[in-house]
Amino acid sequence: MATVPKVEVGTDYKEKYGFFVPEEYVFKAKRGLNPEIVKEISWMKQEPEWMTNMRLRSLEIFRKKPMPKWGADLSVIDFENIFYYLKASDKQSKTWEELPPDIKATYDRLGVPEAERKFLAGVSAQYESEVVYHSLQEDLTKKGVIFTDTDSALRDHPELFKEYFGTVIPPADNKFSALNTAVWSGGSFIYVPKGVRVDIPLQAYFRINAENMGQFERTLIICDEGSFVHYIEGCTAPIYTTDSLHSAVVEIIVKKNARCRYTTIQNWSTNVFNLVTKRAMAYADATMEWVDGNLGSQITMKYPSVYLMEPGAKGDVLSVAFAGKGQHQDAGGKMIHVAPNTTSTITSKSISKGGGRTSYRGHIKIYPGANNCKSFVKCDALLLDDESRSDTYPYNDVDAENVTLGHEATVSKVSDEQLFYLMSRGIPRGEAETMIVNGFIEPFTKELPLEYAVELNRLIQLEMEGSVG
Amino acid sequence: MVSTEAPLEDLIFRGEPDWLRENRRSALESYQRLPAPSKTDEEWRRTDVSRLDPSAFSRFEKAPAHTTMATNLPKGVILESLPVAARDYAELVQPRLFSLAQAHRDRFTALQAALFTGGIFLYVPDGVEIDEPITGRHFSHESGTTVQPHTLIVAGKNSKFNYLDEYIAEHDDEAGYRSGSTEIFLGEGSQVGYVAVQKWGRNVWHFSDQRAELGKDATLRLFNVTLGGKFSKTRVEASLAGEGSNAELKAIYFASGEQFFDFHTLQEHRVGNTRSDLLFKGALQDVSRTVYAGLIRIEKHAARSDAYQANRNLVLSDKAKATSIPMLEIDNNDVRCTHGATVGPVDPEHLFYLRSRGITEATAKRMLIQGFFGDVLDRIPFEHARKLVEAELESRIG
Amino acid sequence: MASYRVASVQELPEDTMKRVDAGATSVCLAHADDGNFYALNDVCTHEEFSLSDGELWGMDVECPQHGSRFNLQTGKVTGLPAVIPAKTYPVKVEGSDIYVEVPE
């Protein structure tokens, strides 16, 4: 989707994103999850022993941990029917031309190379389990910026890697972070040196092509003091009748005075379970921003969080969720105020249609001693018909003095007055509704680079027409 | 005062009808069968009962309720102790008792259904209006005992009345196990004002369920005041079962010292054209802790429901902890539904303003706390209760 | 401070830990692979699970529930989700007896 959109109204997801190409793999692990598969993945990647051991231990933790008792119903996931590792190309390419023709055609069709030419400073493209294409503008390399896939980072930057990997999200954090740590592959590794500002976004594009695929990318971003980076990820998959699983872990460290913005446009097909753990640590006067758009998937459970570790740190989550027929978007955010004088906001906009369900789930925690903090949460939900459902589950814990915390939420339908106004001006009902929805999520779209904002509005249009997946 | 270590059968069950004795035994079995709440249950995650062993308080106070009314009751009204009513008015009591506050929900509701003592039954027939409020006063007398009163209220069609439950400790430093649960059935078109003021001793464990079911066009104005206990867990739940019904659920709490208060609320819109309005306001000082968790649930066919829910916390000390979890589950789009939560300190600008007028800091803070509670106190459904609550609050804030 | 005998050296081989009571305080007593004994408050500062049920990783103890890590020597958090350091207590070994000192 990282492109100036070519979507025409009425074109459906299947044509634009939902296509698949015949499977041709350099290596495809057997279905199922066991220590042998984990060892095989580690061996294929020629990893150091500590990583192999960490994977095996994480597998054990995954086995021991119960499924979450809250949120979406995950009992339908059959962990033994999933392919945990698929390698589609035997090498990583620096130019699109070097890619195997099928894969190149896929990204061409998704418009990624075109987007790179036009407005990106670096691109990473992950196809199934491995990153197949990588680029970074030369001047950024010269400034010491590292933007690579996470497997290469383990090889090429072992010390930096080991210092941070798993410290923000340990394997035992939750069942799916354990699973990810056991079978992770691919993802982005970014290091921005002190004082360096990466003014043009870096983009990662995640693509699942095979049926019953499990994609477990692992992303680690370190923004050194006074630096800035904007990282954008997009994701799509073909439509199959059986399910795929996407379970990523994203760890981010934002040091003093630095700022990191992480934008997601999640548009998985509606047979993908999307269970993602994302967490950032923000130090003195640092800013972490999660801009999180969830449109696709069958079930999403994702709550990007910020640990505000030192005074002056700031955290923002801006979240949009759209749930159509058969979809459950369980999304939100967490702000953990560890230090005094820290601030946070969460803005959530959710839309349910055709029997879809959106749930906002959030946590604001103010630790003892984190005095003079401010936190504000605003959730708005729009229900487009009487089959759909919306939930709000905000948890607020204040254990410090002089804290101002506010939470507000409303649930409503498209207002009759607005509809009447638009229709009285000759706009057909469907179009009028789409306009209202686009207006409803405007606080989100205006934070996106223009090209993405346009694309998002088109996606909403597709969803509104009910033609998606 | 009656307190004894005689067997339960002799103490509590004696003289009761068979159906009630049977229900008590079955609830006692539930109590023994149900697991202790665990930290992994969301409802008990922040509410620690691991140090509570109810059997440590095996002496029961029979706690006969004292009912007071200024005038004679209109004809047909029944105001009776609950065990007596269970015997004499079984056809009214049996189908309703513990049908809203169900015994098998958790160990503590089971204990209430098994071993409630004293308590009140109020029945107001169709069309009867009572001007003067009815008051039930439940007393505890000593430390180390269990006191479990229960109130059952049945409001007939188009009846109208106000009722106040007061839970009173003889000694403010009492320890022990206390409850004070209420079930209210509101018939079609009835209007009920209900106030509960909990001022048990400061060292007791307290559990209560206040649950109401509203028929067509019924109106409930419920007001809860929580002041006592070292641990107090209260559920306030209204089930809007008839079209046109309207529940106003309000509460104030004032936690100080090492008190821990937990509130669980439910606004259950089971049918359409229903309205609920909830406001829980609390002030915390010293090392107290409070947890508010409330849910608005709008069921699938409950179109044109209007629900509001707010929890406001005033935190007066750096060691106090407030948790607020206002939740929504909305299954119909034709609704108006809003909620909010705030946790904050005394507004420094207001404080500064009062100080600049020569008012001492202590007085200024007191005024601001009173101001904080002011708007909700105005919602206490009748004058008698309002005066009582204001006086009680005054003495505690002072 | 009050000193309590909490265990014997034989009870605690290297690279193991154990929950002990020092008066009213629950303590996670660890025999690290540097050969020394360390004592931390047993209750994880994140969500109050018992650290001694977790695992030892060199000089870190890892909480069994969510994987928070604390340094044995300093109590400092070395891995989220915990953010508050663990309390540490002085340990003395006299003969084969291990003593932990906790505030009264």
Low-confidence residues of chain A, pLDDT below 70? 1-12, 466-469
* DSSP secondary structure letters along C62-94: E-TTT--EEETTT--EEETT--SPPPEE-EEEE
Give A 361-380 residues with CB within 8 A of chain B: 368, 371
C45, C80, C84, C87: best to mutate for the A interface, most A CBs within 10 A: C80
Token code pair at residue B8: 């339960």
Question: What pLDDT score does A455 carry?
Answer: 80
Q: Is B309's Cβ below 8 Å from some Cβ in A?
A: no
Q: Which of A193, A222, A370 is nearest to A288 (CA)?
A: A222
Total length of chain A: 469
Closest residue of A to C78, CA-based?
A167
Percent of chain B with pLDDT over 90: 76
Q: Is C65's Cβ below 8 Å from some Cβ in A?
A: yes
Per DSSP, chain B holds a count of helices (H) and strands (E) of 8, 22
Which strands sit side by side in the sheet containing C60-62, from one edge to the other? C55-57, C60-62, C69-71, C77-79
Percent of chain B with pLDDT over 70: 96
Query: Do B256 and B227 form a contact (C-beta atoms < 8 A)?
Result: no
Beta-carbon separation of A70 and B42 below 8 A: yes
Residue B69 pLDDT greater than 80, yes or no = no
- How large is the ipTM? 0.85
Contacts of C103 (CB under 8 A, 6+ apart): C1, C2
Most confident by average pLDDT, A394-408, B33-47, B152-166, B325-339: B152-166
Which pLDDT band, with edges at 50, 70 and 90, does B2 fall under?
very low
Rounded CA-CA distance A210/A237 in Å is 9
For chain B, the average pLDDT equals: 92
Contacts of B7 (CB under 8 A, 6+ apart): none
Q: How far is B293 from chain A (nearest CA, A)?
A: 9
Domain range spanning residue C23?
Answer: 2-102
Question: What pLDDT score does B11 carry?
Answer: 63
Chains that touch B (3 or more CB pairs under 8 A): A
Query: E strands along B106-174, which residues?
Result: 120-124, 134-140, 145-147, 150-155, 160-169
Contacts of A47 (CB under 8 A, 6+ apart): A154
Q: What is the pLDDT of residues C5-56, one digit of tens each?
A: 999 999 999 999 999 999 999 999 999 999 999 999 999 999 889 999 999 9
Q: What is the pLDDT of residues A49-105, one digit of tens each?
A: 999 999 999 999 999 999 988 888 899 899 999 999 998 887 888 888 888 888 888
Of chain A, the end-to-end C-alpha distance in Å amounts to 16
Question: What pLDDT score does B10 carry?
Answer: 63
Q: Is B338's Cβ below 8 Å from some Cβ in A?
A: yes
Closest residue of C to A65, CA-based?
C65
Q: Which residues pair with B262 in a beta bridge?
A: B233, B291
CB nearest to A173's CB, from C81, C83, C84 = C81
Question: What pLDDT score does A121 carry?
Answer: 86
Which helix (H) or strand (E) segment is A149 a member of?
strand A146-149
| H-assigned helices in A145-233 | 150-156, 158-164, 175-183
Token code pair at residue A362: 């959030």
Q: Kindly list the domain boundaries of chain B, sorted by start residue.
A: 3-397
Q: What is the pLDDT of residues B257-304, one digit of tens each?
A: 999 999 999 999 999 999 999 999 999 999 999 999 999 999 999 999
Q: How far is B309 from chain A (nearest CA, A)?
A: 10
| β A146-149/A214-215 pair status | unpaired
Identity at A273, one-letter amino acid code: F
Q: Which of A224, A288, A249, A230 is nearest to A150 (CA)?
A: A249
Q: How far is C64 from chain A (nearest CA, A)?
A: 7
CA B388, chain centre distance (Å): 16
Question: What pLDDT score does C96 carry?
Answer: 93
Higher-scoring residue by pLDDT: B12, A167: A167
Whole-angstrom Cα Rg for chain C? 12
Q: Is C79's Cβ below 8 Å from some Cβ in A?
A: yes
When divided into structural domains, chain C yields a total of 1
Residue B1 pLDDT greater than 70, yes or no = no
CB atoms within 10 A of CB A254: 31
| β B275-284/B246-255 pair status | parallel
Which helix (H) or strand (E) segment is A413 a member of?
strand A404-413
Identity at A106, one-letter amino acid code: T
Q: What is the pLDDT of residues B188-220, one digit of tens each?
A: 999 999 999 999 999 999 999 999 999 999 999
Of chain B, the end-to-end C-alpha distance in Å amounts to 32
Q: Which residues pair with B291 in a beta bridge?
A: B262, B323
Q: What is the pLDDT of residues B376-386, one digit of tens each?
A: 999 999 999 99
Identity at A373, one-letter amino acid code: C
The pTM of the full predicted model, rounded to 2 decimals, is: 0.89
Tokens 């609920």 identify what position? B276
Beta-carbon separation of C79 and A166 below 8 A: yes
Question: What pLDDT score does B366 carry?
Answer: 87
A384, A390, A436: best to mutate for the B interface, most B CBs within 10 A: A390
Specify the CATH number for the domain of residue C63: 2.102.10.10
Of chain C, the end-to-end C-alpha distance in Å amounts to 5
Closest residue of C to A57, CA-based?
C55
Q: Is B351's Cβ below 8 Å from some Cβ in A?
A: no
